[in-house]
């Protein structure tokens, strides 16, 4: 493994984890972010039980596409299976962000898709479906996540009573999508406090 490339990728994962934490996209040790190293089958992910804000070179593990640790010490996040599955499924994917961001998760708690009330959100996301409940870390959850991303070209998915999953070509894009999903969920919730969200003419608007 190219040590220099590994260090650069770890720095990127640390930077994006801290950014996501400061944006309030997850709390405590919840959620996990993974990065696929360019041109390789190596995935970086934080060790289980460590918070995004505490991401350090020492608690980031390198795993293969089966989730087996190939560098670093510790146990990878319990969701590593579907993170790796998503990299196998989506060839161009360079990063996966799994957050527990509260407004988007509120939609997931009631089993509703995020209402894409702004033109920007619709353009970026098209649709953010929700899958049913399965315990975190379970094979069943893995099947639900991979099944949903295999079924249609979505960029974001809600997990009932749990959180959000986004996929991007790199950490910047995956985090950008996670931010848009959360802010759109907030807009939709606030808009409903004021009245019924308006629908304007937009090609393909649902
Ligand atoms: Zn989770």
Residue 156 lies in a domain: yes
In the prediction, which pLDDT does 162 show? 97
Task: Quote the tokens at residue 98.
Answer: 């799994």
Residue 205 lies in a domain: no
Candidate list 73, 79, 152, 196, residue with the active-site label: 79
Note whether 63 and 75 are within 8 A (CB). Answer: no
Per residue in 102-113, pLDDT tens? 999 999 999 999
In the prediction, which pLDDT does 35 show? 98
Percent of the chain with pLDDT over 90: 86
Q: How confident is the model at residue 198 (pLDDT cuts 50, 70, 90)?
A: confident
Percent of the chain with pLDDT over 70: 97
Residue 201 lies in a domain: no
Task: Quote the tokens at residue 26.
Answer: 């997850």
Whose tokens are 């990127």? That residue is 12
Residue 171 lies in a domain: yes
Residue 89 lies in a domain: yes
CA of 97 to the centre of ligand 1 (A): 10
Residue 202 lies in a domain: no
pTM: 0.95
91 annotated active-site: no
In the prediction, which pLDDT does 204 show? 60
Q: Do the bridges between strand 163-168 and strand 95-99 make them parallel or antiparallel, or are there none, so unpaired?
A: antiparallel
Q: Is the pLDDT of residue 203 over 80?
A: no
Task: Quote the tokens at residue 111.
Answer: 């089993």
CA of 38 to the centre of ligand 1 (A): 25
Range of the domain at 132: 3-194
CA of 194 to the centre of ligand 1 (A): 31
Residue 206 lies in a domain: no
Per residue in 42-64, pLDDT tens? 999 999 999 999 999 999 999 99
Task: Quote the tokens at residue 12.
Answer: 């990127």
Residue 67 lies in a domain: yes
Structural domains of the chain, count = 1
Q: Do the bridges between strand 130-131 and strand 156-159 make them parallel or antiparallel, or are there none, so unpaired?
A: parallel
Which CATH number fits the domain that encloses residue 62?
A: 3.40.225.10
Q: Is the pLDDT of residue 201 over 70?
A: no
């Amino acid at each position: 493994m190219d040590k220099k490339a590994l260090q650069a990728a770890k720095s990127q994962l640390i930077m994006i984890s801290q950014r996501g934490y400061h944006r309030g996209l997850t709390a405590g040790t919840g959620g996990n972010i993974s990065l696929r190293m360019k041109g390789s089958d190596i995935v970086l992910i934080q060790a289980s039980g460590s918070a995004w804000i505490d991401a350090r070179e020492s608690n980031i593990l390198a795993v293969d596409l089966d989730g087996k640790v190939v560098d670093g010490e510790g146990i990878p996040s319990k969701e590593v299976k579907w993170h790796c599955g998503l990299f196998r499924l989506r060839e161009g994917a360079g990063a996966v962000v799994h957050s527990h961001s509260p407004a988007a998760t509120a939609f997931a708690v009631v089993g509703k898709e995020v209402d894409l009330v702004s033109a920007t959100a619709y353009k970026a996301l098209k649709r953010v479906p929700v899958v049913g409940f399965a315990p975190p870390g379970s094979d069943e959850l893995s099947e639900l996540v991979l099944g949903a991303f295999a079924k249609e070209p979505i960029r974001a998915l809600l997990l009932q009573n749990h959180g959000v999953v986004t996929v991007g070509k790199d950490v910047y894009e995956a985090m950008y999508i996670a931010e848009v999903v959360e802010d759109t969920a907030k807009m939709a919730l606030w808009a409903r406090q004021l009245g019924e969200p308006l629908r304007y003419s937009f090609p393909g608007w649902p």
